[in-house]
């Protein structure tokens, strides 16, 4: 009897497909989660087996054969398959694409791949102390980095290349030590992680404050079962120490820990703190790794040999058979949401996964999302607060600076310049926050006011001085700088407004005795550049820090005692109902960078609207008060988290098609329990040459949102223009 299997394959259809196991393979075991190669149309695709053998619904004659079974060593376990199926259902996303996205790139292909454990290096264990001392003496005194790398490996035991690189060392330095026969190269053992007391560096453990101790003990009472914990702790209150101590308890049970951070930029410092505490295999997952390195993380996590996986967003899909705890740090951060393709929220999936696998999940933030605070109010989450900083470091004070009545020099008010001088003269650092990269946000004609716009987005090009390019920040298109106005022919074109690149240049003129450094996506594009700049800042090589929201994220700048927010007004009058929340989070997070050590910090916020109630509330009453108020507003307006939202988005080469498409499906919908709003044009109606519209679904509960979404998808799939418009569903959208 031939056997048939349901298989998920990466095609844009919301269904699975049945294939036959051919005679020549019939001797083999085929388990749920096995990767297989199957024909689809005239292509060959990689799929994942979803079921035990099934009775086919189709005529068996029409069913195609599985072409090959891929190595069992790359199989997903049942737990993982169940989780991914739930993800696909929750987000109404094509199941095959969910599986494909959840796999490392190399496993989306059929090629022979190296599934061995990663290489690692440790101090040669066969060398006696005398030998070591002798060999060590052969490293030149001037080769400081080699010395340091050796010391690190001696302390840490075996380390993989991504770990060594993140600790600030180069391949050349590693090779130099190898050549001197100081190191042993091997592969990480594939044995399942087992805890031993000597793996914890107890000497680095901090004596917990009473608040911290309470949180650790409360969470520790909930291990081995599902529970969700929100740690609402001001910046610098020691959330990381709480994570570390709970992690230790989980590791003690021989279980694995998954830690998700929103930004790749946060991995070095977090990794460093983990390494200082735990001498266990820690694997990384982020976009800075190459495909092979990512596969190694996946594989050692899957085998259970990685004790800790430190990951960005998509790491939530890492298979971990002995998972005992998930931590989502900076849970409010919008980069946890994937904004294209499979649009998932990593925090929400972490919670879903924890529920399914019956384990605790910790969400941490100094500025929790309104969703999470709401869940805490409803007692769905355990709510823990950390209100103090250990030691005597104080939170920075915030002050509004009215710029509606005073002239600015390069965007800086007199008061701000004065405060900067005073701070710099004391030998302390200043952080200037400007959320706009590039030199200037537009180039305009001085005579007729024509603005050079991206034709594909109808938005001004940003001028990048260093590259001498105009770049559209919406679609990424670039062009050379224009010399002449296209409307009147004048050559008097000049930059309008100021971005970080320009600010950095101007500061050199204004503060001649001090050095400024810029931290934004442009200046840190090269691998290792961010770490290098952060290190130089820590060494006080720079006194003025200029940056975008990259600077707001989790970094510690102990010598920064003045933070200036140059331009926050945009968020005060936004169409986006989440804008005030995001802005408040940003302000508090940036403020949190200041005055970490014993030096008190100060935050100056330049605004044209110092009387604005949102700013007043935040500055005078703090984030918690602000959040409570914002939640009340959401409740009155019946917006999330008091309602459940989904979007159907559609786009096409003209404005008519997507609007009509959405209008049709919404008018065909009967008996919906949800309110439908729209279709309306997206706030950016045209992007990358496409006209964009959306239909909003608002449900009073999740079940009705799911039902209505399901119905709309069916209507969309039967619409005659379904192939002329590109459409997709976004559940719990973060932006319009
Ligand atoms: P958060 O993650 O909440 O911003 P961190 O965990 O980074 O805060 O802690 C801020 C600083 O306080 C760190 O330098 C950390 O070493 C220190 N710290 C944390 N907990 C303690 C403690 N119990 N005793 C002394 N110092 C602590
Ligand atoms: Zn002109
Ligand atoms: Zn564009």
Query: Ligand 3: distance of its center to the CA of 565 in Å?
Result: 27
Q: What is the pLDDT of residue 74?
A: 87
Cis peptide before 329 (omega within 30 of 0): no
Distance CA 542, CA 388 (A): 30
Looking at the 3D structure of the chain, how many domains does it have? 6
Same-domain pairing of 294 and 223: yes
Residues annotated as binding site? 445, 448, 454, 457, 472, 475, 485, 488
pLDDT (tens digit, 9 = 90+) per residue, 192-212? 999 989 888 888 889 999 999
pLDDT value of position 421: 95
Q: What is the pLDDT of residues 550-567, one digit of tens each?
A: 887 767 888 899 999 998
499, 436 contact by CB (below 8 A): yes
Tell me the ligand closest to 472's alpha carbon: 3
Q: Is residue 263 part of a domain?
A: yes
**Count of CB atoms within 10 A of residue 569's CB?**
15
Task: State the chain's maximal CA–CA distance in angstroms.
Answer: 85
pLDDT at position 599: 75
Q: Quick one: pLDDT band at residue 1, thresholds 50, 70, 90?
A: confident
Question: Which residue, by CA, sits nearest to atom 27 of ligand 1?
Answer: 390
Supply the residue whose CA is at minimum distance from atom 17 of ligand 1. 238
Residues 241 and 171 in one domain: no
Q: How many CA atoms does the CB half-sphere of 1 hold within 13 Å?
A: 6
Under a CB-based contact definition with an 8 Å cutoff, are residues 594 and 603 in contact? yes
Looking at residue 723, which CATH number applies to its domain?
A: 3.30.70.600
List pLDDT tens digits, range 424-437: 999 999 999 998 99
Q: Which atom of ligand 1 is nearest to the CA of 329?
A: 2
Of these ranges, 178-192, 240-254, 278-292, 458-472, the one predicted with the greatest mean pLDDT is 240-254
Q: In this structure, which ligand is nearest to the CA of 689?
A: 3
Q: What is the CATH number of the domain that holds 12?
A: 3.40.1440.60
Binding residues for Zn(2+): 445, 448, 454, 457, 472, 475, 485, 488
Residues 202 and 320 in one domain: yes
Model pLDDT, residue 320: 96
Tell me, yes or no, whether 504 lies in a domain: yes
Asked if residue 329 has its Cβ within 6 Å of ligand 1, the reply is: no
Q: Is the CB of 206 under 6 A from ligand 1?
A: yes
Q: What is the ipTM, given to two decimal places?
A: 0.97
pLDDT at 144 over 90: no
| Residue 319 scores a pLDDT above 70 | yes
Q: What is the model's pLDDT at position 272? A: 86
Domain boundary among 456, 477, 496: 496
Is 221 a member of any domain? yes
The reported pLDDT for the residue numbered 57 is 79
Number of the ligand closest to the Cα of 485: 2
Q: Above 90 in pLDDT, residue 356?
A: yes
Task: Name the domain boundary from 186, 209, 226.
Answer: 186
Whether pLDDT at 423 is above 90: yes
Q: What is the mean pLDDT of residues 332-353?
A: 95
pLDDT reported for residue 412: 93
The 10 Å Cβ neighbour count of residue 290 is 11
22-28: average pLDDT? 85
Hey, which of 238, 327, 554, 598 would you mutate to test ligand 1's pocket, going by the most ligand atoms within 8 Å of its Cβ?
238
**Higher-confidence position of 264 and 80:** 80
Claim to verify: residue 216 and residue 350 sit in the same structural domain: yes
Instruction: Establish if 114 belongs to a structural domain.
Output: no
Residues 589 and 365: beta-carbon distance below 8 Å? no
Q: Which domain holds residue 165?
A: 120-186
Query: Do residues 83 and 160 both lie within one domain?
Result: no
Q: Name which residue sits closest to atom 25 of ligand 1, judged by CA.
A: 390
Position in ligand 1 atom list of the atom nearest CA 235: 4
Give pLDDT, residue 85.
95
State which ligand 1 atom lies nearest to the alpha carbon of 239: 3
> Residue with the nearest Cα to atom 26 of ligand 1?
390
Q: How far is the CA of 242 from the centre of ligand 1 (A)?
A: 9
Residues 47 and 178 in one domain: no
Mutate which of 390, 394, 589 for ligand 1 pocket (most atoms within 8 A of beta carbon): 390
Higher-confidence residue of 351 and 265: namely 351
Question: Which one of the ligands is nearest to 211 CA?
Answer: 1
- In sequence order, the β-bridge partners of residue 386 are 233
Residue 299 and residue 219 in one domain: yes
487 and 555 inside one domain: no
Q: Is the pTM of this model over 0.80?
A: yes
Q: How far is the CA of 279 from the centre of ligand 1 (A)?
A: 20
Residue where a domain stops, chosen among 616, 637, 658? 637
Do 600 and 721 lie in one domain? The reply is no
CA distances to 162, 530, 668, 682 from 689, rounded to whole Å, are 39, 33, 29, 14
- Looking from the CA of residue 241, the nearest atom of ligand 1 is 6
- 238 inside domain: yes
In a domain, 30, yes or no: yes
| pLDDT at residue 532 is higher than 80 | yes
Question: Which ligand gives the minimal distance to the CA of 492?
Answer: 2
Strands (E), 548-673: 560-565, 602-607, 644-652
Rg, the chain, Cα only = 28
φ, ψ of residue 431 in degrees (nearest 5): -115, 125
Mean pLDDT check: name the lowest of 61-65, 367-371, 511-515. Answer: 61-65
Ligand 2 centroid to Cα of residue 186, in Å, is 66
Confidence check: pLDDT of 49 > 90: yes
Task: Determine if ligand 1 sits within 6 Å of the CB of residue 212.
Answer: yes
Residue 596 banded pLDDT, cuts 50, 70, 90: low
Share of the chain above pLDDT 70, in %: 99
Same domain, 476 and 408: no
- Best-predicted range by mean pLDDT among 124-128, 271-275, 365-369, 550-554? 365-369
CB 542 within 8 A of CB 583: no
Any domain includes 391: no
Query: How many angstroms separate the alpha carbon of residue 230 from the centre of ligand 1?
Result: 18
Tokens of 41: 């149309």
CA of 104 to the centre of ligand 3 (A): 30
Say if ligand 1 is within 6 A of residue 263 CB. no
Judged against a pLDDT cut of 70, whether residue 597 lies above it is answered with no
460 phi/psi in degrees, rounded to 5:
-60, 145
Q: Tell me, what's the pLDDT at 349?
A: 98
CA 736 to ligand 3 centroid distance, Å: 17
Neighbours of 78 (CB within 10 A): 11
Which atom of ligand 1 lies nearest, measured to the CA of 207?
23
Q: How far apart are CA 376 and CA 360, in angstroms?
A: 15
pLDDT at 483 over 90: no
Taking each helix axis from N to C terminus, what angle separates 144-156 and 171-179, rounded to the nearest 10 degrees? 80
Is residue 202 lining ligand 1, measured as CB closer than 6 Å? no
CATH code of the domain in which 223 resides: 3.40.50.300
Kindly state whether residues 447 and 526 are assigned to the same domain.
no
- Nearest CA residue ID for atom 9, ligand 1: 238
Q: Is the pLDDT of residue 394 over 80?
A: no
Higher pLDDT, 289 or 88: 88
Residue 258 within a domain:
yes
Bridge-based pairing state of the strands 17-21 and 429-433: unpaired
Judge if 704 and 693 occupy the same domain: yes
Look at residues 605, 428, 424 and name the one whose alpha carbon lies nearest to residue 510. 424
Nearest CA to ligand 1 atom 4: 236
Residue 238 CA to ligand 1 center (angstroms) comes to: 4
The DSSP annotation for 11-77 comes to SS-SS-EEEEE-GGGTTS---TT-EEEEEETTEEEEEEE-SS----SS-GGGPPBP-EEPPGGGPPP
For atom 20 of ligand 1, the residue with the nearest CA is 238
């Amino acid at each position: 009897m031939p056997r048939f299997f349901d298989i998920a394959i990466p095609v844009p259809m919301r269904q699975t497909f049945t294939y036959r196991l051919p005679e020549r393979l019939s001797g083999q075991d085929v388990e749920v989660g096995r990767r297989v190669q199957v024909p689809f149309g005239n292509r060959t695709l990689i799929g994942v087996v979803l079921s035990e053998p099934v009775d086919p619904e189709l005529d068996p004659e029409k069913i195609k054969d599985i072409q090959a079974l891929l190595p069992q060593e790359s199989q997903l376990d049942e737990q993982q398959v169940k989780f991914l199926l739930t993800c696909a259902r929750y987000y109404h996303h094509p199941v095959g694409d969910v599986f494909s996205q959840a796999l490392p790139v190399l496993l989306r292909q059929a090629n022979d791949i190296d599934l061995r454990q990663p290489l690692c290096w440790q101090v040669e264990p066969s060398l006696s102390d005398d030998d070591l001392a002798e060999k060590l003496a052969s490293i030149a005194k001037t080769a400081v980095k080699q010395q340091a790398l050796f010391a690190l490996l001696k302390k840490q035991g075996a380390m993989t290349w991504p770990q060594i690189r993140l600790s600030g060392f180069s391949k050349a330095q590693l090779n130099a030590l190898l050549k001197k026969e100081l190191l042993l190269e091997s592969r990480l053992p594939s044995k399942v992680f087992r805890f031993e007391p000597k793996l914890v560096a107890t000497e680095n453990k901090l004596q917990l404050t009473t608040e911290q101790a309470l949180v650790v003990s409360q969470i520790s009472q909930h291990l081995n079962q599902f529970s969700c914990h929100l740690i609402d702790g001001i910046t610098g209150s020691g959330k990381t120490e709480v994570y570390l101590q709970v992690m230790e308890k989980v590791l003690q049970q021989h279980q694995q820990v998954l830690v998700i951070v929103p930004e790749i930029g946060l991995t070095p410092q977090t990794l460093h703190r983990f390494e200082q505490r735990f001498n266990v295999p820690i694997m990384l997952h982020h976009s800075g790794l190459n495909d092979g390195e990512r596969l190694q993380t996946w594989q050692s996590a899957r085998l259970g040999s990685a004790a800790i996986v430190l990951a960005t967003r998509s790491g939530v899909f890492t298979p971990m058979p002995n998972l005992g705890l998930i931590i989502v740090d900076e849970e409010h951060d919008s980069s946890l949401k994937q904004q294209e393709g499979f649009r998932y929220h990593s925090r929400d999936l972490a919670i879903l996964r924890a529920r399914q696998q019956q384990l605790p999940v910790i969400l941490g933030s100094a500025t929790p999302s309104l969703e999470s605070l709401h869940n805490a109010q409803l007692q769905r989450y355990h709510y823990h607060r950390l209100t103090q900083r250990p030691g005597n470091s104080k939170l920075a004070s915030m002050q509004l600076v009215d710029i509606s009545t005073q002239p600015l020099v390069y965007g800086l008010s007199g008061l701000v310049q004065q405060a900067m001088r005073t701070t710099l003269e004391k030998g302390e650092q200043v952080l200037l926050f400007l959320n706009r990269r590039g030199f200037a946000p537009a180039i305009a004609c001085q005579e007729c006011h024509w603005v050079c716009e991206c034709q594909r987005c109808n938005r001004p090009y940003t001028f990048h001085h260093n590259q001498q390019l105009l770049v559209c920040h919406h679609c990424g298109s670039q062009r050379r700088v224009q010399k002449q106005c296209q409307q009147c022919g004048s050559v008097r074109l000049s930059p309008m407004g100021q971005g970080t690149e320009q600010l950095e240049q101007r500061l050199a003129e204004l503060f001649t005795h001090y050095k400024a450094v810029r931290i934004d996506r442009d200046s840190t594009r090269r691998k290792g550049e961010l770490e290098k700049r952060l290190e130089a800042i820590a060494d006080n090589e720079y006194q003025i820090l200029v940056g975008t929201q990259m600077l707001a994220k989790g970094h510690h700048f102990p010598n920064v005692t003045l933070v200036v927010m140059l331009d926050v007004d945009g968020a005060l009058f936004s169409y986006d109902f989440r804008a005030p929340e995001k802005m408040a989070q940003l302000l508090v997070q940036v403020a949190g960078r200041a005055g970490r050590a014993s030096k008190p910090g100060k935050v100056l916020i330049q605004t044209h609207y110092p009387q604005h109630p949102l700013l007043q509330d935040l500055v005078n009453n703090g984030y918690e008060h602000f959040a409570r108020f914002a939640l009340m507003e959401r409740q009155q307006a019946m917006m999330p988290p008091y309602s459940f939202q989904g979007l159907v988005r559609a786009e096409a080469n003209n404005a008519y098609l997507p609007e009509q498409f959405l209008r049709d499906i919404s008018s065909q919908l009967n008996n919906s329990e949800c309110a439908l709003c729209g279709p309306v044009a997206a706030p950016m109606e045209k992007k990358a040459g496409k006209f964009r519209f959306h239909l909003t679904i608002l449900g009073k509960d999740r079940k009705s949102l799911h039902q209505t979404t399901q119905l709309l998808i069916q209507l969309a799939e039967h619409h005659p223009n379904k192939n002329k418009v590109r459409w997709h569903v976004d559940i719990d959208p973060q932006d319009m």
